[in-house]
């Protein structure tokens, strides 16, 4: 029996008797979880169109997984976004390499890393989740798998990104600037009409990274984590810092312990800040959503915003709370 069905059945069979154990606490939660919940989508940065695409699907009754995939695909196809999908900035050797992952409400996950020439890595990640016994495929193997699945190869290096890269090559200075470049990774969390949560995260990673570098975005627990009993979280910013604290998993676990999404995001950011003497030099930002439909967001430096779609309305450019200017 699937866990959710089990919880729902347990909830029904246990209603009306006195409770005491933590299992029963989760049954009670399951009984009440969906009553006042409206579908919604939240996304890192100001990706209003992506959040709206997902949010409208959710309002039409589509499930969280389909909505989150379609939502982030908007940015994967956005040529002006130089940190995701087609048009993404290359590594220092001129390769556009993409990282993405997706998680559904049953706890299933799929991921691709260092994927070249495929416009929608999130969809390949979903195929890894659904069509293979694995969670993560990398590089050549991921590309081969994508082609077998019918994805078409495409040159993702646009003339604009190529020109900027050639400009960069003149000095070859590798210095990610907070909120000015490297700031368009999309992490998205969706809750559907059943109150089920799914998430996705997709990126071309840090501009002019070393060839072979993989960031937090495709790492389950770092750039994204969803536990449908509790909620979900997604991260953006300096992937190395997010990976070292397994930030998204940490946030979901903090929510499990009773923290609000806001408190959990703040504590995860502070975990990184307290361990990083150089925290002033990089950005880390999170968004989170819990089962009650509450959301939170926190970052190190001013300038991170997120987008939300609920009740037929976009709320874009929502400024996250931050530690410092
Ligand atoms: C990475 N976290 O590859 C990503 C970069 C990012 O907005 O979030 N950019 O480290």
Residues 78 and 155 in one domain: yes
Residues 130 and 276 in one domain: yes
Which distant-in-sequence residues (6+ apart) come within 8 Å of 89 by Cβ? Answer: 82, 83, 96, 161, 164, 165, 181, 204, 207, 208
* Confidence (pLDDT) at 293: 95
Residues 55 and 139 in one domain: yes
Tokens 């987008």 identify what position? 307
Residue closest by Cα to atom 8 of ligand 1: 236
Determine the average pLDDT of the residues in 263-281: 96
Distance CA 204, CA 256 (A): 31
* pLDDT exceeds cutoff 90 at 5: no
256 pLDDT tier (thresholds 50, 70, 90)? very high
CA proximity to 47, closest of 217, 292, 236: 236
* pLDDT exceeds cutoff 80 at 3: no
* Confidence (pLDDT) at 32: 37
* pLDDT exceeds cutoff 70 at 311: yes
Residue closest by Cα to atom 10 of ligand 1: 239
67-99 residue pLDDT tens: 999 999 999 998 888 888 988 899 999 999 999
208-227 residue pLDDT tens: 999 999 999 999 999 999 99
* Confidence (pLDDT) at 63: 98
What is the CA(286)–ligand 1 centre distance, in A? 11
What is the CA(243)–ligand 1 centre distance, in A? 11
Residues 73 and 113 in one domain: yes
HSE, CB side, 13 Å, CA atoms: give it for residue 68: 35
Q: Is 263 exposed, middle or buried (0-12, 13-18, 19+ CB in 10 A)?
A: middle
Structural domain boundaries enclosing 18: 1-34
Ligand 1 atom at minimal distance to the Cα of residue 236: 8
* Confidence (pLDDT) at 79: 87
Q: Dihedral of CA 251/252/254/260: which sign?
A: positive
176 pLDDT tier (thresholds 50, 70, 90)? low
Ligand 1 atom at minimal distance to the Cα of residue 185: 7
Residues 220 and 270 in one domain: yes
Ligand 1 atom at minimal distance to the Cα of residue 240: 10
Quote the percentage of the chain above a pLDDT of 90. 78
* Confidence (pLDDT) at 317: 86
> Mean pLDDT lowest for which of 26-35, 44-53, 59-68, 199-208?
26-35
Residues 222 and 150 in one domain: yes
Structure tokens at 265: 């995001």
Q: Which of 202, 217, 244, 247 to mutate to test the pocket of ligand 1 (most atoms within 8 A of CB)?
A: 217
Quote the percentage of the chain above a pLDDT of 70. 86
267 pLDDT tier (thresholds 50, 70, 90)? very high
Q: Dihedral of CA 221/266/121/42: which sign?
A: positive
* Confidence (pLDDT) at 193: 96
Residues 18 and 113 in one domain: no
Q: Which of 72, 206, 233, 241 to mutate to test the pocket of ligand 1 (most atoms within 8 A of CB)?
A: 206
Residues 3 and 86 in one domain: no
When the pLDDT of each residue in the chain is averaged and rounded to a whole number, the result is 88
Distance CA 15, CA 200 (A): 35
Determine the average pLDDT of the residues in 39-62: 96
Is 204:212 a contact under the CB 8 Å cutoff?
Answer: no
Q: Which of 50, 114, 115, 216 to mutate to test the pocket of ligand 1 (most atoms within 8 A of CB)?
A: 216
Residues 12 and 45 in one domain: no
Residues 73 and 88 in one domain: yes
Determine the average pLDDT of the residues in 31-47: 76
177 pLDDT tier (thresholds 50, 70, 90)? low
Tokens 């002033």 identify what position? 280
Residues 5 and 111 in one domain: no
Ligand 1 atom at minimal distance to the Cα of residue 184: 7
218-252 residue pLDDT tens: 999 999 999 999 999 999 999 999 999 999 999 99
What is the CA(139)–ligand 1 centre distance, in A? 18
* Confidence (pLDDT) at 9: 33
What is the CA(25)–ligand 1 centre distance, in A? 37
* pLDDT exceeds cutoff 60 at 175: yes
- CATH number of the domain at 293, please: 3.60.20.30
Residue closest by Cα to atom 3 of ligand 1: 205
Ligand 1 atom at minimal distance to the Cα of residue 45: 7
What is the CA(37)–ligand 1 centre distance, in A? 31
* Confidence (pLDDT) at 27: 36
Find the residues whose C-beta lies inside 6 A of ligand 1.
83, 182-185, 203, 205-206, 215-217, 236-239
Q: Which of 236, 301, 306 to mutate to test the pocket of ligand 1 (most atoms within 8 A of CB)?
A: 236
What is the CA(312)–ligand 1 centre distance, in A? 29
131-174 residue pLDDT tens: 999 999 999 999 999 999 999 999 999 999 999 999 999 988 77
Distance CA 69, CA 238 (A): 23
**Looking at the annotation, which residues are catalytic?**
185
Q: How many domains does the chain have?
A: 2
Residues 166 and 266 in one domain: yes
* Confidence (pLDDT) at 182: 52
């Amino acid at each position: 029996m699937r866990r959710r069905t089990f919880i729902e059945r347990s909830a029904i069979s246990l209603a009306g008797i006195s409770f005491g154990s933590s299992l029963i606490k989760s049954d009670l939660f399951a009984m009440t979880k969906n009553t006042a919940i409206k579908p919604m989508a939240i996304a890192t940065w100001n990706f209003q169109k992506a959040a709206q695409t997902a949010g409208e699907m959710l309002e039409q009754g589509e499930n969280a997984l389909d909505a989150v995939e379609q939502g982030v695909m908007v940015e994967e196809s956005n040529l002006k976004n130089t940190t995701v999908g087609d048009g993404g900035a290359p590594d220092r050797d001129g390769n556009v390499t993409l990282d993405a992952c997706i998680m559904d409400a049953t706890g299933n996950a799929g991921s691709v890393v260092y994927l070249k020439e495929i416009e929608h890595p999130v969809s390949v990640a979903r195929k890894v989740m659904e069509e293979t016994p694995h969670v993560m495929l990398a590089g050549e193997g991921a590309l081969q798998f994508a082609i077998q699945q019918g994805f078409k190869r495409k040159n993702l290096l646009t003339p604009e990104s190529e020109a900027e890269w050639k400009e960069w090559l003149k000095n070859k200075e590798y210095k990610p600037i907070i909120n000015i470049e490297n700031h368009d990774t999309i992490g998205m969390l969706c809750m559907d009409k059943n109150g089920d949560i799914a998430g996705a995260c997709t990126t071309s990673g840090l501009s002019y990274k070393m060839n072979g570098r993989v960031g937090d975005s495709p790492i389950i627990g770092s750039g994204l984590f969803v536990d449908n009993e509790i909620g979900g979280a997604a991260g953006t910013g300096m992937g190395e810092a997010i990976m070292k604290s397994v930030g998204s998993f940490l946030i979901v676990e903090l929510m499990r312990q009773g923290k609000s999404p806001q408190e959990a995001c703040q504590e995860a950011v502070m975990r990184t800040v307290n361990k990083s003497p150089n925290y002033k030099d990089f950005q880390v930002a999170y968004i989170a959503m819990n089962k009650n439909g509450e959301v939170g967001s926190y970052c190190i430096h001013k300038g991170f915003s997120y987008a939300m779609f609920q009740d037929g309305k976009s709320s874009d450019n929502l400024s996250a709370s931050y530690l410092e200017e």
